Structure 1
């Protein structure tokens, strides 16, 4: 109705249009409300208009996925035609499918999809794009990567379904890199904002200090190989008495040293959750990562923002999580684990029976280490002598063969 009480077609149209395009526009699930910021992220992203329209259709659940087609009795099954394990929803198609997750991880942003942390697509999109200040240069580049990655994944899955051609992950990656380079003016590798350097602190204690009370302190460190893009991470947890209570050493692919350090911090939080820890302290020696996690600094490579999303989500379940930036030698235990993973060493039950080299690190931290095992020393000496004897025998055999050939 108009203000004077008369009904006009224009007033009815305006009311219906306002209800459909209100900020609380709902998805197919009537209980879910999309945040207004999501639409702002979509329409201001650095991408093509058709890709913006595609993102709008994704958020409103308007794509012809198998789940949607099955609900309308068009498709015979709601299952994903590629993995055949789960229903092909929007989230599964663009993020959670095993093939799709592999594409995200192989992109230069090296985003590792965690299906457990993804509820709806719009919440995921808001979490990724909401980390940076909107319309900043870093935000534009990140939105460019995300939008074109989603668009090319969708096109490739359609090609697989309708042209019966196996999806080409590397073809998708190269297409995304080419388009992003054209739109954002960057090279094939993500730009690094600032210099990636290990922290060099001038103050603070010279030795590792135990946490107070019932707290747990976790040291995280990562080692990255630029030639193979392999990262080795080490995480070690100790209690208030300095005793080692848990830890892990893993290998993964990474795009930079900063990326490896972020992986280590994420694994540290996962380890804390597995231990049901509520109060803890995490120590790291990478200043840029510390500023990004604790101070929400934007002066950092945007390639780790998806990892920062995971780190901040994992922090939510902890009652109290303190962060500490320390010198490199105060993080020696975590660095020891990362180096063992880099060497491919088998650590066995290193928590209850730490090797001699780890015992040495723990003693340098100024805290009691497990008693040195005399049998281990004897075994080490015997093996060393056998190795020397074998080397001498091999050298003599080689010299005899050489003499016989010449004479």
Structure 2
């Protein structure tokens, strides 16, 4: 029978896991792995179910949980090439999945936790595809698979954050003009199921007049949050090139805004992209950045989707057909 301290430790580990916003299948996999009920070859050999405990992927070492998820030479490069950029090429024998997971759940933000859990699930899925179907998938398949699952979770997080902000401030459901002398920049990313994503950009003055619009298409990022962060970096660079030095920037990803505030405490590719944007922002004379509701960012959203279905462009005081309807519907004078 477990003593009080053992039960308390379990509660401290599992409660944050079950409360996380990752998909249930990812959380269940981690629970099974940490409780030694995952059918890795070492566990099956110990129970006499199989004779060979060698890893089916690398064929070199005993397949334990740590090996299957981290130390395998066919798995470690996935972690290093992912947006997390974690190096597991030399996992020490003392490495504990439970302790590491506990640290991730305690110190990681929502994006980091979700990225870890979805990548673990995708790694296990790849292993099973090879074991049971003899289908071999490259590293980028695992990254795309994890990104597709993370997209579902992150969209849920963004929607929940949007609803919370709407309750706090009912006035933020429409675009509002900036103060005279300031240019308001709205930016968004469109992340469909596919190999490319779109960026949308619009700059307006205190009268609501359109000074510039842009739409651009880029290779797909590995998460929605990363796509939004890369769109922000692109928008800041474009603003400087267009000569806009007093700006207010708005976007509808609360995750990116939260990462902007805490990027120095994070170790991820997302944090690196945010750090680039923070550095670029220092070139403006006056700069501010804020999260707004999706309804306030419809013009940028239109342009991001336009990039996917049409052509890329940068327009000075001009914009594609169809955007005028969006502008007239959402403009509210300050």
TM-score where L is the length of structure 1: 0.42
Equivalent-residue separation in structure 1 for 2:278 and 2:184 (angstroms): 18
Q: What corresponds to 2:271 in structure 1? A: 305
Structure 1 stretches of 5 or more lacking a match?
A: 1-102, 112-132, 142-172, 179-186, 369-407
Give matches, 1:15-54, under 5 Å.
none
- Per-residue CA distance 1:2-32 (angstroms, 9 max, x = gap): xxxxxxxxxxxxxxxxxxxxxxxxxxxxxxx
Task: Quote the offset at 1:277 in angstroms.
Answer: 2.7
- Which residues of 2 match residues 1-400 of structure 1 at below 5 A? 107-109=81-83, 174=139, 189=146, 196-198=157-159, 199-200=162-163, 201-202=166-167, 203-226=170-193, 228-252=194-218, 253-293=220-260, 295-296=261-262, 302-343=268-309, 345-346=310-311, 351-366=316-331
Q: How far apart, CA to CA, are the structure 2 residues paired with 1:349 and 1:222?
A: 16
CA RMSD of aligned residues (A): 4.1
How many Å apart are 1:242 and its aligned residue?
Answer: 1.0
In 2 relative to 1, CA 348–230 (structure 1 residues): closer, same or farther, beyond 3 Å? closer
Contact 2:215 2:313 in 1 (8 A): no
Which whole-Å CA distance do the structure 1 matches of 2:262 and 2:301 have between them?
25
Q: Give 1:174 shift.
A: 4.8
For residue 235 of structure 1, give the secondary structure of its aligned residue in structure 2. Answer: strand
User: Which protein has the larger Cα radius of gyration, Structure 1 or Structure 2?
Assistant: 1
Give unpaired runs (5+ residues) of structure 2: 1-76, 86-102, 113-137
Give how far 1:138 is off: 5.4
Distance 1:315 1:352, change over 3 A: closer
- Structure 1 residue 232, shift from structure 2 partner: 0.7
- The answer to which structure, 1 or 2, has the higher relative contact order (CA under 8 A, 6+ apart) is 2
Number of equivalenced pairs: 201
Given that 1:196 and 1:257 are in contact with CA atoms closer than 8 Å, whether structure 2 keeps it comes out as: no
Which whole-Å CA distance do the structure 1 matches of 2:323 and 2:316 have between them?
A: 10
> What is the Cα deviation at residue 267 of structure 1?
1.3
Q: Residues 272 and 174 (structure 1 numbering): CA distance in 2 closer, same or farther, change over 3 Å?
A: same
Residues 289 and 357 of structure 1: CA distance in aligned 2, closer, same or farther (over 3 Å): same
Instruction: Summarize the Cα distance change of 1:207–1:137 in structure 2 as closer, same or farther, 3 Å threshold.
Output: closer
Secondary structure at the aligned position of 1:212 is classed as: coil
Superposition deviation, residue 223 in structure 1? 0.9
Q: 1:245 and 1:174, CA in 2 relative to 1: closer, same or farther beyond 3 A?
A: same
Distance 1:342 1:299 in 2: 34
State the SS of the aligned residue for 1:354: coil
Asked if the contact 1:229–1:256 (Cα under 8 Å) also holds between the matched residues in 2, the reply is: no
Tell me the CA shift for residue 137 of structure 1.
6.3
Evaluate the alpha carbon distance shift between residue 354 and residue 250 of structure 1 in structure 2; reply closer, same or farther with a 3 A threshold. closer
Cα deviation, residue 300, structure 1: 8.3
SS of alignment partner, residue 248 of structure 1: strand
Q: Structure 2 vs 1, CA of residues 332 and 174 (structure 1 numbering), >3 Å: closer, same or farther?
A: closer
Cα distance in 2 between the residues matched to 1:221 and 1:301: 24
Match of 2:98 in 1: none
**Aligned mates of 1:328, 1:364 — CA distance in 2:** 14
- Please, what TM-score do these two structures have when normalized by structure 2? 0.50
CA distance in 1 between counterparts of 2:243 and 2:312 reads 24
1:353 deviates by: 4.3
Q: Structure 2 vs 1, CA of residues 229 and 218 (structure 1 numbering), >3 Å: closer, same or farther?
A: same
